[in-house]
Amino acid sequence: MSNAADVKQTKFYHYHVEAGGKMVPFAGYLMPLQYTGGIMQEHLHTREKAGLFDVSHMGQLVIEGKGAAAALERLVPVDLGALAIGQQSYATFTSELGGILDDLIITRWADNCFFLVVNASCKEQDIKHLREHLDNLDITYLSGQSLVALQGPKAKIIIGELAPAANELLFMNGCRTSIGGIDCYVTRSGYTGEDGFEISVADENATALADQLLAYDDVQWVGLGARDSLRLEAGLCLYGHDMDRGKSPVEAGLSWSISQSRREGGSKSGGFLGSDQILKHLADGVSTKRVGFVIDGRAPVREGAEIVDDQGNVVGVITSGGFGPTLQMPVAMGYVKTDFSAVGTKLDALVRGKSRAMTLVKMPMVPQRYYRGD
């Protein structure tokens, strides 16, 4: 951000301040890092009850026009044409070299209409990218929409009372509904590993919606700090840290997000930016992989720490690290050479010249509790 005047506020700014939020600049906005209870309390509250997250800094876009699915499929390795109305898909915008420009969620609103939620720090470049490649489609940035996420095991009870139709949704599906007379678009999704909902609402109704949610004793605001520790325990990537232009979806451990039909031999094989390189990675394997770690001791290992083997050879780097309140131990993610990527592998991180023992573990580190109807 070039100067303080460029920093924006969401419609919930004064709510955050009144709740004791420690406001910090993030992706061009003043956002709450934490509240008076602290990151650990907010994290555990979300795992046990329901945390309310202001994610209005994210970019909300609508892409529509004839052939929208096929056109968007040139930019993501996903079979968008196979999505039902209201169904969502995780996706990556891939580069011509096979790297990741951003990750996003795409929801099919109609046959030729898609709703995209992109990362806050990437939204301007994403809009430019879309307009350069989809000049025959209408691309609308929903500048007048706020976005909140209600996450945790109590979320379904609350949404069940306020919007019964939304509570019938399965994970990665959405619907238009009303919450206390307020029109919203609700999806059963989130970034915590918990069952939960993301709610897109017009700015003029945003605080009234928050009032309804916060009226429940089980709901409290949760800031960026706990959002990060929750997603880290859940094994979820943070763009610009755990993935970027220098990593393909395969290297980033996101092969699952590449639709079968877009792979070699599929009915829509390739045809997306960087597909030659990405399909080669799928076929031949990669030299480095994203993996998860638990750390001995109590002190976290942070991004940038080198990973070494028992001979002191550098075999990787930490990309995200912090304390995992659910596990009550430090956790991390990073990239290692494939030869060192087996679960149970013992490695060390170098922190200020000292070795910290780590064990490679399967992700997610905390079981995901998405509602799939079972």
Check residue 203 and report its DSSP letter: G
Task: Enumerate the domain spans of the chain.
Answer: 4-54+144-233, 287-365
* CA pair distance 190, 173, nearest whole angstrom: 11
Same fold yes or no, 4-54+144-233 and 287-365: no
- How large a percentage of the chain has pLDDT more than 90? 98
Q: What is the pLDDT of residues 42-87, one digit of tens each?
A: 999 999 999 999 999 999 999 999 999 999 999 999 999 999 999 9
Which amino acid belongs to residue 35?
Answer: Y
Domain 287-365 sits in CATH at 2.40.30.110
Q: Looking at the domain covering 4-54+144-233, what would its CATH class be?
A: alpha beta
Question: What pLDDT does 5 receive?
Answer: 60
Contact 140, 156 (CB under 8 A): no
**H runs (alpha helix) in the chain:** 13-18, 39-48, 68-72, 123-133, 155-162, 164-167, 206-214, 224-233, 275-284
* CA pair distance 118, 348, nearest whole angstrom: 35
Q: What is the pLDDT of residues 113-144, one digit of tens each?
A: 999 999 999 999 999 999 999 999 999 999 99
* CA pair distance 117, 258, nearest whole angstrom: 18
Q: How far is CA 168 from CA 145, 156, 330, in A?
A: 24, 9, 36
Instruction: Give all strands (DSSP E) within the chain, no chain letters.
Output: 8-9, 22-26, 29-34, 50-54, 59-64, 88-94, 100-110, 113-118, 138-141, 145-151, 174-179, 182-187, 196-202, 219-221, 288-295, 306-308, 314-324, 329-337, 346-351, 354-361
Check residue 362 and report its DSSP letter: P
- pTM (two decimals): 0.96
